[in-house]
Amino acid sequence: MSHGGIRLPPNVVKILYKWGLKDALDAISVESRSFEMDKYETGEVLGTHVWDDDIFTATGGTFLLCHHADLRQLLHDAAIEAGAKIHTGVKVVSVDCNACQVTLSSGAKLRADVLVGADGCSGLMSQAVTGKNVFGDASPHCLFYNTTVPVELMQRDPALADLCISKYKSFVWLGHNAGVTGFHLGGEAEFALHIWAQPSRYDYREGERCTAEVSPKEMRKQLGHCEPRLLKLAALAKSPARVHVKIIPPLDNWVHPSGRVLVIGEAAHPLPAGSIQSGALAVEDSAVLAKLFSHLRSEDQIPTFLYALQELREGRCASVVKCEQGNLFFQMMPHGPKQERRDNMLRNLVAKGRTRLSSGEFFDQWEQVKALFGYDPEDQADDWWIKWGILRERAKDRTRDLEERMNSRFSVLASSHNV
Ligand SMILES: Cc1cc2nc3c(=O)[nH]c(=O)nc-3n(C[C@H](O)[C@H](O)[C@H](O)COP(=O)(O)OP(=O)(O)OC[C@H]3O[C@@H](n4cnc5c(N)ncnc54)[C@H](O)[C@@H]3O)c2cc1C
């Protein structure tokens, strides 16, 4: 996929801040302070949500928007600084989980003590671990187009001026089997455009997951019946990437029976493309992995840590994946009584002058969002270590002591017998 905009909710921002990346992150991003929900077909404003400061204070993070390429560069530089060795332009063509070895397209073979597969939903690692092609075999739900629009071009068109008044405000369009999200990015002044379309007739090519660059004309056609601003944005947009969106639950097994191979990120729990939490869940997984492996003293701890990671993460990831799938259904709800109820609930809040989704009918949903943003994976990993990890190490020490004492008693007995 070519790069577009990525959303970073407070749960991931606080981890990156803790890792010392605050200044670097702030330099490439824009803070999201509010979003407006518009009707896809007409442009009618259905509602606005202004983020409460206390939700960010309570969760210890903030909501940032940035260019995916900038984020990737930032993480790359941080990894290098921390001592990682990164080989780019290298393709893994096969994986041997029992030998803990991968083969590259060059023919080179690499062996390791542990393999962590973070190669995305259509990578090889999840197939190697589970023996199934779970993502590849699932049918696509819809199409996702990922692109950006230069803000300078938007400012020249009076019809798009509203979208440029504040770079802190994002836009969500709710449509009949269609949805769009637009937000300003840090760095180069660009507006991210995420489009989800569920065409009634579309030839989903088997095996295709992501096509790096398709013609903007195709994307415009997929917009179908929509308000004029969306057509204008699409006309000014750069060539988009097209992705098949699949709705599937996380894998059952993230660890290969060898106990030496693990999958994390979208390789373990694919999200609908363009989800708010895609990048966040992958970083949360890495944070837990790092915490667990900070206690590594001997090789026999590796399988325990890999299984602990799945145990710690699977519940959280399953609920976030479900929530993101729900967000997509909410945004793309087909016309009918359910959609009318949704629109009327939003209109009601506007009529009452409310600018918080945390009030009224959406209260329960909002409590879930707060819990989602407030989650701290590093705390979970620390708790696991205190509750289980240390106990296991002590039990191991006791068994070793016992074995040593038994061995020395046997050798005393043996030597006295010899005497
Ligand atoms: C090029 C690209 C652009 C993206 N742009 C956006 C965006 O603009 N907005 C957004 O919200 N999300 C974007 N995403 C998705 C986003 O990065 C993920 O949803 C999220 O970060 C989860 O990351 P992940 O590490 O689990 O998987 P991914 O980010 O998908 O990373 C997987 C990595 O594994 C590599 N890989 C896969 N197979 C092999 C192999 N056989 N050998 C070697 N390497 C392999 C891929 O090249 C990729 O670098 C993009 C992903 C990619 C790969």
Other residues' Cβ atoms within 10 Å of the Cβ of residue 149: 21
Mean pLDDT in consecutive groups of 10 residues from the start of the chain, 419 residues: 86 96 96 96 94 81 95 97 94 97 96 97 95 92 96 96 94 98 92 94 81 90 96 96 95 97 98 96 98 95 97 97 94 96 91 72 72 92 93 80 75 62
pLDDT computed for residue 275 by the predictor = 97
Beta carbon of 69 within 6 Å of any ligand 1 atom: no
How far is it, in rounded angstroms, from Cα 92 to Cα 53? 45
Beta carbon of 167 within 6 Å of any ligand 1 atom: no
For the chain, the straight-line distance linking the first and the last C-alpha, in angstroms and rounded, comes to 77
Question: Which residue reads 């060059």 in tokens?
Answer: 106
Q: What is the DSSP letter of 372?
A: H
Q: What is the DSSP letter of 167?
A: T
Question: Which residue reads 């195709």 in tokens?
Answer: 218
Q: Are 106 and 94 in contact (CB under 8 A)?
A: no
- Beta-carbon contacts of 203 under 8 Å, excluding residues fewer than 6 positions away, are none
As given in the structure block, the two tokens for residue 155 are 């400012």
pTM of the predicted structure, to 2 decimals: 0.92
Residues forming beta bridges with residue 115, ordered by sequence position: 261
Beta carbon of 150 within 6 Å of any ligand 1 atom: no
How far, in Å, from the CA of 417 to the mean position of ligand 1? Answer: 67
Give the residue whose CA is nearest to atom 28 of ligand 1. 120
How far is it, in rounded angstroms, from Cα 37 to Cα 231? 17
How far, in Å, from the CA of 327 to the mean position of ligand 1? Answer: 21
Give the residue whose CA is nearest to atom 30 of ligand 1. 120
pLDDT computed for residue 29 by the predictor = 97
Beta carbon of 279 within 6 Å of any ligand 1 atom: yes
Q: DSSP per residue over 18-55, as a string? A: HTT-HHHHHHHEEE--EEEEEETTT--EEEEEE--HHH
- Beta-carbon contacts of 372 under 8 Å, excluding residues fewer than 6 positions away, are 9, 11, 277, 320, 323
Q: Which of 63, 106, 119 to mutate to test the pocket of ligand 1 (most atoms within 8 A of CB)?
A: 119
As given in the structure block, the two tokens for residue 268 are 């373990």
Q: Are 161 and 151 in contact (CB under 8 A)?
A: no
Among candidate residues 380, 285, 368, 367, the one with its CA nearest the CA of residue 323: 368
Question: Which residue reads 């938007």 in tokens?
Answer: 154
pLDDT computed for residue 1 by the predictor = 57
CA 131 to chain centre: 24
pLDDT computed for residue 126 by the predictor = 97
Other residues' Cβ atoms within 10 Å of the Cβ of residue 54: 9
For residue 271, give the ligand 1 atom closest to its CA: 19
pLDDT computed for residue 106 by the predictor = 94
Among candidate residues 272, 289, 268, 300, the one with its CA nearest the CA of residue 396: 300
Beta carbon of 266 within 6 Å of any ligand 1 atom: yes
Q: Which of 2, 6, 245, 286 to mutate to test the pocket of ligand 1 (most atoms within 8 A of CB)?
A: 6
Question: Which residue reads 């560069």 in tokens?
Answer: 73
How far, in Å, from the CA of 355 to the mean position of ligand 1? Answer: 35
How far is it, in rounded angstroms, from Cα 314 to Cα 250? 8
- Please name the amino acid found at residue 185: L
Pairing of strands 34-39, 92-96: unpaired
For residue 266, give the ligand 1 atom closest to its CA: 26
Beta carbon of 201 within 6 Å of any ligand 1 atom: no
How far, in Å, from the CA of 118 to the mean position of ligand 1? Answer: 9
How far, in Å, from the CA of 41 to the mean position of ligand 1? Answer: 32
Q: Are 134 and 126 in contact (CB under 8 A)?
A: yes
Question: Which residue reads 């016992």 in tokens?
Answer: 402
Instruction: Write down how long the chain is.
Output: 419
Among candidate residues 295, 315, 287, 304, the one with its CA nearest the CA of residue 376: 287
Give backbone dihedrals phi and psi of 64, rounded to 5 degrees, phi first.
-115, 155
pLDDT computed for residue 27 by the predictor = 96
Return the axis-axis angle of helices 216-223 and 228-236, rounded to nearest 10°. 170
How far, in Å, from the CA of 286 to the mean position of ligand 1? Answer: 15
How far, in Å, from the CA of 346 to the mean position of ligand 1? Answer: 35
